[in-house]
Structure 1
């Protein structure tokens, strides 16, 4: 059987970068896409094909999928990893920023999925692996737009799983806890820029400290660990529908199911204050 073919979006750093590497090391022909093509140069020596990809640009998405099909004639796995976190109070953030968050985290994911489905349906098999977050199961102050997108990814993936089952296509959700990437520092900077000087300043300082702390290995999970869950979802004969992964991921999601909203609100507030110091 020919090597399975995988597309990984948002592969310039972190989870996407490590997932592309691990899939390639385990027998996949991998196409890695991101806007920052130069950041993907280290992937090339491992045989990974690097292509420019902007998931807010339809022509860019169509171009990548067409290039893979022209080369390989098939796509077996799509890892929808491209995404970012924009934090700030709902009152102070421009609606355009909320739309941008949805464009990348939800509509880009949905459009990439649309583009690969015809070839997967024709083959009668395939895997759609959506990188969500435990942030699609719980919430934090000043993260309204980010959490809204991740809750949307969860619902989209669940409905899509039933929709595609008759066609032999599996849909899996990866739910990482805080991960050691540049994501947290960038989100913290954006939070302070939008809400660090107004009526939400005290909350913003605490949340920025929490977000920045995710870059420390002592408190977060290495992206290689999350990539391991992606590999499992891509290769398991009967993949799980969800893969909570990282420190505290299972505990946090379990508590969210068990605790009443007001009790959970209090727990989130206490934990965030403790982390912020």
Structure 2
């Protein structure tokens, strides 16, 4: 493991709860100068008490993105590790998700992290070192019905990382993705609120009821393969501090074996099983 002094300061997005909060606490406990960010600064009081520096940051706001990076660079010269964690899950049938909702999903989950990466890279190049850790998801490797918007954003995160990594490697910079399976956090509550409410006469009414029920069970604490935020935060810390990181860290049973099973199974079989798990009218 590299030491905090060798790596430099850590900037983490989406620290109001869940993995972001747990990661900020883990980095601070390991001795890192840790900048925890969120849209609501009041949500960061607990991390401030632990010794984290806190910044207000909406990852979709260019002025806020620039201000956050500049705040770190004024004090330390360059960001040592950027942890792109901020995000949420837009769920529901593709037909009923508006383009504005899809744009918000990509602005937060894809473009926010991509732009922050662009902003920290000049400082990292000058320092001759740096690491970008993206909290991605098994959803970036396996796409299932009801989660098309979220999966599309996570697939994009994976594709961007694969292109960026060899581009910046000559400058001493690495890009690592952490892909968790299901996590018991507030993610579920936010996810359920995104399912479009289009009335009882929607052709997807039954599907959306079953989708909500299925996601509650999938993300329930104590469920099969469901992890804690701390479990994932430890993987993020490892991805940021090992001397020779893997390009990806699949965290948990489902993240490790789900993509393998999906790659081996025919598409039509996966479709049929999905319709059994989340039934719709006419299924």
- TM value normalised by structure 1: 0.93
Residue number in structure 1 paired with 2:10: 6
Q: CA deviation at 1:214?
A: 4.5
Counterpart for residue 121 of structure 1? 125
Provide the C-alpha distance between the structure 2 equivalents of 1:195 and 1:81, rounded to a whole number of angstroms: 33
Query: Deviation per CA, 1:84-131, whole angstroms, max 9, x where unpaired?
Result: 111122222221010010100111011100010001111111110011
Query: Residues of 2 paired with 1:204 and 1:163: CA distance?
Result: 42
Picking from 209, 232, 247, the partner of 2:238 is 232
Shift of 1:46: 1.5
Corresponding residue number in structure 2 for 1:223: 229
Change (3 A) 1:142 1:123: same
Q: Which moved more, 1:168-177 or 1:181-190?
A: 181-190
Match of 1:83 among 78, 81, 87: 87
For residue 186 of structure 1, the aligned residue among 165, 176, 190 is 190
1:148 and 2:140 are equivalent in the alignment:
no
1:43 match: 47
Offset at residue 71 of structure 1 (A): 1.7
Q: Does 1:25 align with 2:29?
A: yes
Partner residue, 1:249: 255
Alignment of 1:154-173 (within 5 A): 154-173=158-177
SS for the counterpart of 1:138 is coil
The structure-2 alpha-carbon separation of the partners of 1:93 and 1:192, relative to structure 1 and needing over 3 Å to count, comes to closer
Unaligned ranges ≥5, structure 2: none
1:118–1:87 Cα change, 3 Å: same
For residue 248 of structure 1, give the secondary structure of its aligned residue in structure 2: helix
Alignment deviations for residues 197-248 of structure 1 (CA, whole Å, 9 cap, x no partner): 5111121111111222345221121010000110110111110111111242
Selected match of 2:97 from 88, 93, 96: 93
Of 64, 67, 74 in structure 2, the residue corresponding to residue 60 of structure 1 is 64
Structure 2: distance between partners of 1:235 and 1:195: 49
Whether the 8 Å CA contact 1:178–1:247 is kept in 2: the answer is: no
TM-score by structure 2 length?
0.91
The CA RMSD measured in Å over matched residues stands at 1.7
Distance 1:139 1:197, change over 3 A: farther
> Aligned partners of 1:177 and 1:270: how far apart in 2?
21
In 2 relative to 1, CA 120–3 (structure 1 residues): closer, same or farther, beyond 3 Å?
closer
Number of aligned positions between the proteins: 273
Q: For the residues of structure 1 that align with 2:127 and 2:219, how far apart are their CA atoms? A: 41
